[in-house]
Chain A
């Protein structure tokens, strides 16, 4: 049976309206729930860079976060910008503008509530298919990695997507970003898996995910460089504090 063009146009129009409204209603109803999920996920990632959080419930994550985290926003010159809230800075949007014009959030973890135990730096970059992002936690001397938490949009499951697994993230623990001469070198993921003799700036690679690994390396190098002034000022501050005491 051949239908007339009018019938086809009316049919497709009605169909579009019907499915369109179902989808937009669902989206509207689910959006608040999804937003909370995303917020929990972000705070989980920030906390996950410094502590074991797998046993915490979503509510505990939010309360621990409020208790133990402080944050500032700095620019590339290391100057603190009070007008911004670190949690509200969209690292992804900032990634698209010039490094000089970006806001850089820094999260400070304090176990006791007094001195800072860890500095957490959000980062952003490109993987193989789409963006990758990360939170890198450095110890109070701002050199040794305490933990990292990487995330990605659509890296290949089982290959590049492994960057969000603890198996890969644990490889970064204990690595250092400064060499013995005090020069910033960042941390590099090698090609291939099961490499021997890793230096303190190298981590083992992921087989089948070389480009994602390169993306990680670029992201770390780039952002450590952007945070460098802040990091080095803090380091100086800390040494002065120690020598003063």
Chain B
């Protein structure tokens, strides 16, 4: 008796994943709320405190971070298999630093006013822990499209927090929104502005309240 072993060749056809499948949606949405880089992971606090005094520079800062984050993730992910493991952090930093320098040069040429206000802080995007963190933790091991989604999610997660903080700091600290004097407009000429909110202390207070609201809503418990 000879037993014939029939080898069945099973060809597994992987159904191609949807453009925004459930898994991918999770990559994108998670960092906006449940896994927010600032309020949950408490990364990137330094710039969240420093640039959020007025709304306008914060908008520019947020756009810059989204840009740098997406493109550095994309580039890192595309060349992830060629990056020598031993110097990978240096390579990631070189990618981030080049993109940041590009942003800074364009800002200097086309929005000199904002360049003067933000100058140093745009340069400091290089050291923003969120970007390097996502490159090392995600883009180094995942496909380009997923990495871009992850970058988008995390940078927008960062952006909405700093924009919220900036909105309240400008409103309470300078009595204006985007330079528009709100309180004078509604007839409260003598509304006192609170200098505490111009200091970094104001950012801590608003950030604390934000984290409080978010955690009590999501039922987050510290391990």
A residues contacting B by CB (< 8 A) are: 1-3, 7-8, 11-12, 15-16, 19, 22-23, 26-27, 30, 33-34, 37-38, 40-41, 129, 151, 153-154, 156-159, 161, 164, 193, 207-208
Contact = CB atoms under 8 A, between A and B. Distances in A.
A34 B50 CA distance: 26
B90 A157 contact: no
B193 to A, nearest CB: 11
The 7 closest A-B CB pairs, nearest first, are A158-B53, A37-B112, A33-B109, A19-B98, A30-B109, A8-B84, A3-B84
Contact of B50 (A7, A30, A157): A157
B121 interface: yes
A30 B121 contact: no
A7 B81 CA distance: 13
Contacts of B109: 30, 33-34, 37
A27 B105 contact: yes
B112 A38 contact: yes
B84 A157 contact: no
Nearest to B197: A158
Nearest to A208: B199
B198 interface: yes
B116 A164 contact: yes
Interface in B152-172: none
Contacts of B133: none
Given A23-B102, A154-B120, 18 more contacts: A2-B85, A8-B84, A8-B86, A8-B87, A15-B94, A22-B98, A23-B105, A27-B105, A30-B109, A34-B109, A40-B112, A41-B112, A153-B119, A157-B57, A158-B173, A159-B199, A207-B195, A208-B195
Interface in B105-128: 105-106, 108-110, 112, 116-121
Contacts of A19: 94-95, 98
A22 B95 CA distance: 11
Nearest to B101: A23
B54 interface: yes
Contact of B85 (A3, A27, A154, A161): A3
A75 to B, nearest CB: 31
B82 interface: yes
A208 B57 CA distance: 20
Nearest to B91: A15
A54 to B, nearest CB: 11
B124 to A, nearest CB: 10
Contacts of B116: 151, 164
Interface string B52-80: 01100100000000000000000000000
Given A8-B84, A38-B112, A164-B116, A26 B195 contact: no
Nearest to A1: B85
- Specify which of A16, A30, A153, A158 lies most central, judged by the most chain B CB atoms within 10 Å of its CB: A158
B98 A208 contact: no
A31 to B, nearest CB: 8
